[in-house]
């Protein structure tokens, strides 16, 4: 074998880089990032003002493809895998887009058609939703059926499925009262249903389907994803990742699905993921209730909902998980910010990014 052939073979078989490249931040950004950290620390000084805490576990800032700032707090480290909560949903949306591109399914497929072999409960108002309706949280439910299927430990920041729960039965027995695609109802079980469909059409659970197509190319090593007793990954929650893994996925979305010269997610699908498809409000709140608490222009949960993403009030869109897990995709700055934490006032966390970090990117 020639030297050139050997080099080509090595190039083809070499593992992808595990870490994003680093770059030195500008003095202005470094000062802003320090002011951000100081403000985070100051928010924690009053133990009774828990609604003002910005209780971070990590933050990583990527600008022009390079990490320019990173910080871990409270014993978390670069090797800490963090519970993603609903950040998981955006990975599920990516898998749906890949399966559609592979010709396995389509946006207009009726959801119930994938459950013909399942004994579903008879209801007065059955599900008429399409795959697209579930992606945009417009499946027809008026209230979210998710919480009753979970055991949540807020002290340890963990949740798990209740023993023996049958999610399709819970999802399809919950009343469908709205015309599909017309009413936003944040609904993690709807994302589980998308995971179920991807598994049915591909023959692989989400984790296995995404591993060679997304996780391995990005250098995301052995992610974990909770599954039910049928082996279906929860889809709407249950994924655990490191902060740098989050930043890599954000950079992939920023680059319209392209990574190291290879299109991992179709570019037009990423565009649709990050586009507002329906009017929205924070989970468990109506638009009227949300607007009574905060003007819509100041509320990052009133800017529109994409395909398992939220639109940001300042720039771009985000993957968004309970307690302050965010992957902010910021096209106007060619930047990504990945954040983990555990707090109740996640708007304050977002505002810290908008006030201290975003202007200096």
358: DSSP letter: G
Rounded Cα distance between 323 and 328, Å, is 15
Q: Distances from the Cα of 97 to the Cαs of 3, 39, 166, in angstroms?
A: 40, 39, 26
Domain with CATH 3.40.710.10 in the chain: 20-80+242-361, 83-237
Burial code (b: 16+ CB inside 10 Å, e: under 16) for 225-255 equals bbbbeeebbbbbbbbbbbbbbbbbbbbbbbb
Spatial CA neighbour of 236 closest among 118, 100, 134: 134
The pTM of this model reads 0.94
- Where is 82: in which H helix or E strand? strand 82-83
CATH class of residue range 83-237: alpha beta
Rounded Cα distance between 100 and 114, Å, is 15
Dihedral sign of CA atoms 246, 277, 282, 131 in order: negative
- The one-digit pLDDT tens for each residue of the chain (361 residues) are 444 444 444 444 455 557 999 999 999 999 999 999 999 999 999 989 989 999 999 999 999 999 999 999 999 999 999 999 999 999 999 999 999 999 999 999 999 999 998 888 778 788 999 999 999 999 999 999 998 899 877 777 778 899 889 999 999 999 999 999 999 999 999 999 999 999 999 999 999 999 999 999 999 998 999 999 999 999 999 999 999 999 999 999 999 999 999 999 999 999 999 999 999 999 989 999 999 999 999 999 999 999 999 999 999 999 999 999 999 999 999 999 999 999 999 999 999 999 999 999 9
Cβ neighbours of 263 (radius 10 Å): 13
Cβ atoms of 168 and 196 within 8 Å: the answer is yes
Cβ atoms of 18 and 221 within 8 Å: the answer is yes
What topology is assigned to 20-80+242-361 in CATH?
Beta-lactamase (3.40.710)
Helices 188-202 and 87-101 cross at an angle (nearest 10°) of: 30
Structure tokens that stand for 342 in this block: 């555990």
Cβ atoms of 227 and 296 within 8 Å: the answer is no
In this prediction, residue 57 carries a pLDDT of 98
Cβ neighbours of 216 (radius 10 Å): 13
In this prediction, residue 16 carries a pLDDT of 54
Q: Distances from the Cα of 62 to the Cαs of 30, 101, 137, in angstroms?
A: 13, 29, 29
Spatial CA neighbour of 86 closest among 265, 306, 323: 323
In this prediction, residue 290 carries a pLDDT of 96
């Amino acid at each position: 074998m020639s030297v050139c052939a050997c080099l080509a073979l090595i190039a083809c078989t070499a593992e992808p880089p595990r870490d994003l490249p680093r770059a030195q931040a500008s003095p202005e950004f470094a000062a802003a990032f320090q002011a951000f950290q100081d403000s985070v620390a100051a928010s924690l000084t009053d133990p009774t003002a828990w609604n003002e805490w910005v209780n971070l576990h990590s933050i990583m800032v990527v600008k022009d493809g390079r990490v320019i700032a990173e910080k871990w707090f409270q014993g978390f480290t670069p090797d800490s895998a963090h519970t993603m909560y609903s950040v998981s949903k955006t990975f599920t949306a990516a898998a749906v887009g890949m399966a559609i591109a592979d010709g396995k399914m389509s946006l207009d497929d009726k959801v119930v058609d994938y459950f013909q072999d399942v004994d579903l409960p008879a209801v007065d108002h059955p599900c008429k939703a399409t795959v697209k309706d579930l992606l945009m949280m417009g499946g027809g439910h008026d209230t979210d059926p998710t919480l009753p299927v979970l055991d949540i430990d807020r002290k340890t920041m963990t949740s798990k499925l209740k023993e023996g729960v049958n999610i399709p039965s819970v999802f399809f027995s919950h009343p469908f009262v709205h015309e599909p695609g017309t009413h936003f109802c944040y609904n993690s079980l709807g994302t589980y249903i998308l995971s179920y469909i991807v598994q049915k059409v591909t023959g692989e659970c989400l984790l296995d389907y995404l591993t060679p197509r997304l996780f391995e190319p990005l250098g995301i090593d052995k992610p974990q994803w909770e599954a039910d007793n049928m082996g279906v990954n929860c889809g709407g929650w249950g994924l655990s990742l490191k902060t740098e893994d989050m930043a890599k996925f954000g950079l992939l979305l920023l680059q319209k699905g392209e990574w190291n010269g290879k299109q991992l997610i179709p570019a037009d699908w990423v565009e649709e993921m990050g586009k507002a498809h329906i009017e929205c409000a924070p989970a468990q709140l109506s638009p009227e209730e949300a607007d009574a608490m905060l003007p819509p222009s100041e509320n990052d949960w009133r800017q529109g909902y994409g395909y398992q993403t939220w639109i940001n009030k300042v720039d771009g869109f985000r993957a968004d998980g309970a307690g302050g897990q965010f992957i902010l995709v910021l096209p106007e700055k060619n930047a990504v910010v990945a954040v983990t934490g555990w707090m109740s006032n996640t708007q304050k966390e977002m505002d810290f990014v908008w006030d201290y970090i975003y202007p200096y990117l």
